[in-house]
Structure 1
């Protein structure tokens, strides 16, 4: 889909993205290398970028070191993603086909103000891209066709990426009524709503209403043809009906909403329910739960309830293995959701943990007989990382923080005052605890977990952790030894993930026991 955006827009966005994520200024040479264009061309693009960024309230800072992007405080990169997509005639064609259903070539040429030859080129390119999603383009009349559930997912992703979370692109649909449905659903205790993308839920509803109005019945989806899913489907339908019976909406619309939400919730929501829906087909939820628990133990992380994660993974992989949808796990067309940046962070900060998760997924692909090349690892990795309770906090505490124990021979209060002063000096992830015993010795220190012992005087003890005698001045120059010890502690704690990954490799080789 990226190729459907005009070349110039792609290059402008790529430049902006590089500047957005850059930690240091980027020169023309750096940027020229990134998008494979001459410096002269880059200079031209940068002038246009300056105008676009300025239009949003930001600016491009230029210095001898290079360019720095400074966005307005309420603007993020998604603003420019929307601009890039809205500038694409091919994507405008997709939107027109959705909003006006069956159209002739003449209709499209007039609507988009393009020639017959231009339309022909756009149609050829669009057909090629749609095939990745198990969709195609019918031409008599023109319309996007394929499994109805996939068609709706496709258009939902399109509108979300093109218009974002605040603009409402479908004026024919009553947003307030769908908002009322969401509010009522939010009140249901049996649904874990904390990881649901609410706006996507709203857009899917709106897309489904329009598709039903045009006569595209959701019952034509392959999901409806899976006879062995009948029990689960009926269970979900009864739950949806029970919910809708308490919502104040027109009775004539309830049948439509019951149809839409039974399918949506069956595919997406069953893993979110606190009481898991009984499934008649063979499942591996318990095995996945067990693997996730082993992973947590190997990295010395607290155990948590993995059932909702395991159920969702099981459901997604099962659908993938049985329905053979192309790109079944992709939740985006061009631009990854902003929270996917967590994957970038985890792969850099906790590479051994990230690798262990990836190896676990490949075990699961083998279990479900899925070709790894035909599945999006990122979607599953994001699912695990984003829904694992307090995972970022626990990893940070375990592998990215430094625990400083403060001791003063003068008094506990003196040590406490030093600890408070240190907290104002250390702008990083340091936990500071005061040594609370009246006597300091090696035996009593065994009762504490710490990386550095910071003292208010000279101390001689044979312990593994470094001892730093704090300078009376307590300014930045005097704290250099402490800063170095903190950096070393960070490195040592990060190394723990490597040690844990060695343990992981032992149980990843036990595939036979996993399959049994």
Structure 2
């Protein structure tokens, strides 16, 4: 987040975050020390926030010389963060540039009711920020220039981080139209986007389409263009239907732009719907991106055998490293939330991850590591430690109970099983054929034979269960060493 807004905006978000999660009112001195600003600056920030932010959204109060923040119960800090970004000068200016308004400085200042002198001061800070992202602010007219891929990722991240407060970003193409393409993408690639990540991918696609329609086309290096053939051949992407996106452009999306739209999916999170699909995608990296595969294999060794199934986390690492195919600079990879209050144990330390990355950073095939060590290590730290905590959960036997007599009989069987095994040993699963994820159960218990396309083991029980039935279950649980 520090790299998506200006220094003054980041300072405000920092003290807002402290107040948002504070368990008691804080003194102004505590805040000024924490955010490294003067008392006058803090007072000015708070006054501006209270005068512009709707009281029903959030408000800062002072009582007995101590500050506390109240916020609506239906918003979290991410929403408040989106509000702050949406109301920043950088966001307003970026929307104008994204819409290709082509305004001069005097025209923009007049339209936004600010004096040219004050606007010049703001532009200086914005220009400094953009320079860190290897972008240039051109003043005649106002335009963000640089590598087109970097420009698109800049807009995508800005609009994603400002959502949902800012709303949808285009009046010309709807979320529903882009979502129809995403649904086809899911079916073709064997993945699923959650409701929130689906919106993120839709925003990124909308940015690409808008820039294409405005005439700002991507310019890839020969090496980057060669990756198009690899992906299209392996995933048979030529059969993916782009007609919903073609309709907006009034012409077919070019091969190069199709690849970019596919590749930006890795900036979002999605779930593979089967273990077979996970292995299929891992094999792609092994065959066509072997250097990336070698790095992921080495990183996984940090787990030291503490996970029974490592393909899922290995693919998560490969997908994350794919983000650096085009985007080479940390400032444009903004998925590490500097503000989230995390409760993750330090099972695998960032230091251990950094030590592993340092082995590769000077190798010519891994040049992206040197600039991005901190953001990569932070991401892997969270990924590893969450996975290790999940392992305690996944080690338990996950059971789906099915009865030919219906729900009441299923609940009866669950009650009988629960008399013998607590949740420390066995967890019941509700969905037989989930549409969002791969099946979460290890075993099916049914009072009649069932046919499944998967290889899941099925125990056919009696109602009420017999000693023989429970002996079968005991053998399965005992073999798991829970």
- Which interval holds the TM-score relative to the shorter structure? 0.5 to 0.7
Query: What is the aligned counterpart of 1:290 among 281, 293, 297?
Result: 297
Q: Distance in 2 between matches of 1:341 and 1:50?
A: 23
Tell me by how many angstroms 1:100 deviates.
Answer: 2.5
Could you list the runs of 5+ residues in structure 1 that have no partner in the other structure?
399-415, 421-446, 451-516
2:441 maps to: none
The alignment partner of 2:343 has SS state of helix
Q: 1:326 to 1:291 in 2, by over 3 A?
A: closer
Which structure is higher in helix share? 1
Q: Distance in 1 between matches of 2:37 and 2:293?
A: 52
Q: Distance in 2 between matches of 1:136 and 1:197?
A: 29
1:83 and 2:86 are equivalent in the alignment: no
Tell me by how many angstroms 1:245 deviates.
Answer: 6.5
Could you list the runs of 5+ residues in structure 2 that have no partner in the other structure?
396-418, 424-478
2:121 maps to: 121
The alignment partner of 1:138 has SS state of strand
Query: Which segment is superposed worse, 289-298 or 247-256?
Result: 247-256
1:133 maps to: 133
Q: Distance in 1 between matches of 2:44 and 2:148?
A: 44
TM-score using structure 2 length:
0.65
1:362 and 2:365 are equivalent in the alignment: no
The alignment partner of 1:222 has SS state of coil
- Does the 8 Å CA contact 2:149/2:326 hold for their aligned counterparts? no
Tell me by how many angstroms 1:162 deviates.
Answer: 2.6
Query: What is the aligned counterpart of 2:227 among 218, 226, 229?
Result: 229
1:262 and 2:259 are equivalent in the alignment: yes
1:301 and 2:307 are equivalent in the alignment: yes
Tell me by how many angstroms 1:39 deviates.
Answer: 6.0
Q: Distance in 2 between matches of 1:124 and 1:70?
A: 34
- Does the 8 Å CA contact 1:329/1:376 hold for their aligned counterparts? no
1:55 and 2:55 are equivalent in the alignment: yes
Q: 1:80 to 1:242 in 2, by over 3 A?
A: same
Instruction: Deviation per CA, 1:432-474: give whole Å up to 9, x if none.
Output: xxxxxxxxxxxxxxx9999xxxxxxxxxxxxxxxxxxxxxxxx
Tell me by how many angstroms 1:357 deviates.
Answer: 2.8
The alignment partner of 1:73 has SS state of coil
2:103 maps to: 103
2:199 maps to: 199
- Does the 8 Å CA contact 1:20/1:69 hold for their aligned counterparts? yes
TM-score using structure 1 length:
0.61
- Does the 8 Å CA contact 1:109/1:115 hold for their aligned counterparts? yes
Tell me by how many angstroms 1:216 deviates.
Answer: 0.8
- Does the 8 Å CA contact 1:283/1:314 hold for their aligned counterparts? no
- Does the 8 Å CA contact 2:354/2:377 hold for their aligned counterparts? no
Q: 1:117 to 1:376 in 2, by over 3 A?
A: farther
The alignment partner of 1:55 has SS state of coil
Q: Equivalent residues in 2 for 1:328-477 (5 A)?
A: 330-331=333-334, 337=337, 341=340, 344-346=342-344, 349-350=345-346, 352-367=348-363, 368-370=365-367, 374-379=371-376, 381-382=378-379, 385-386=382-383, 390-394=387-391
Tell me by how many angstroms 1:57 deviates.
Answer: 5.3
Instruction: Deviation per CA, 1:96-120: give whole Å up to 9, x if none.
Output: 1111243334432333333343343
Size of the alignment, in residue pairs? 390
Q: Equivalent residues in 2 for 1:2-81 (5 A)?
A: 5=6, 7=8, 12-36=12-36, 55-56=55-56, 67-81=67-81
Q: Distance in 2 between matches of 1:248 and 1:156?
A: 17
- Does the 8 Å CA contact 2:348/2:384 hold for their aligned counterparts? no
Q: Distance in 2 between matches of 1:199 and 1:69?
A: 29
Q: Distance in 1 between matches of 2:4 and 2:252?
A: 40
The alignment partner of 1:144 has SS state of strand
Query: Which segment is superposed worse, 209-218 or 13-22?
Result: 13-22
Q: Distance in 1 between matches of 2:170 and 2:358?
A: 40
1:510 maps to: none
1:315 maps to: 322
The alignment partner of 1:18 has SS state of helix
1:410 maps to: none
The alignment partner of 2:367 has SS state of coil
Greater RCO between the two (CA within 8 Å, min separation 6)?
2
The alignment partner of 2:145 has SS state of strand
Query: Pairwise CA RMSD of aligned residues?
Result: 4.5
Instruction: Deviation per CA, 1:375-428: give whole Å up to 9, x if none.
Output: 152345425744888433237899xxxxxxxxxxxxxxxxx99x99xxxxxxxx
The alignment partner of 2:308 has SS state of coil
Instruction: Deviation per CA, 1:249-269: give whole Å up to 9, x if none.
Output: 849757138654421323545
2:409 maps to: none
Tell me by how many angstroms 1:128 deviates.
Answer: 2.4
Q: Equivalent residues in 2 for 1:139-150 (5 A)?
A: 139-150=139-150
The alignment partner of 1:187 has SS state of helix
Q: Distance in 2 between matches of 1:185 and 1:388?
A: 30
Instruction: Deviation per CA, 1:194-223: give whole Å up to 9, x if none.
Output: 6993222111111122212211112xx225
Q: Distance in 1 between matches of 2:182 and 2:371?
A: 34
Q: Distance in 1 between matches of 2:54 and 2:114?
A: 31
Tell me by how many angstroms 1:75 deviates.
Answer: 1.1
Tell me by how many angstroms 1:74 deviates.
Answer: 0.8
Instruction: Deviation per CA, 1:47-74: give whole Å up to 9, x if none.
Output: 7767778723566687779555443321
